[in-house]
Amino acid sequence: MDPVLVQALSLLIGAAAAVLLQYGNYRWGGKRRKPEDDEENTKE
């Protein structure tokens, strides 16, 4: 395989891993608080 292609692909995989980790935690992470929970807690 072309060495430049290997380097570009490696960088893409590295960036994708970080983005997927952050998105996965945002989407499926635990202890997420919903906005309505905060509204419920601030009610008198």
Partner 1 sequence: MTKGDLDGPTLFGRPIKPVAFGLVLTMTIIAQANVRGIDRGTQPPLSYIVSILAFAAVIALAWGWIAGNQRCAEVGLLLVVAAYTTRAAFSLLSSGPDPAVFFSLATVVIAGGSYLLEANSHKGGQEWTPSSSRH
For partner 1, how many residues bind (rule: CB under 8 A)?
20
By CB under 8 A, tell whether 14 contacts partner 1. yes
By CB under 8 A, tell whether 23 contacts partner 1. no
Of 33 and 40, the one with the shorter C-beta distance to partner 1 is 33
**SS3 labels along 1-44:** CCHHHHHHHHHHHHHHHHHHHHHHHHHHCCCCCCHHHHHHHHCC
Residue 20: name the closest of 31, 12, 10 by CA: 12
Residues that bind partner 1 (CB under 8 A): 1, 3, 6-7, 9-11, 13-15, 17-18, 21-22, 25, 29-33
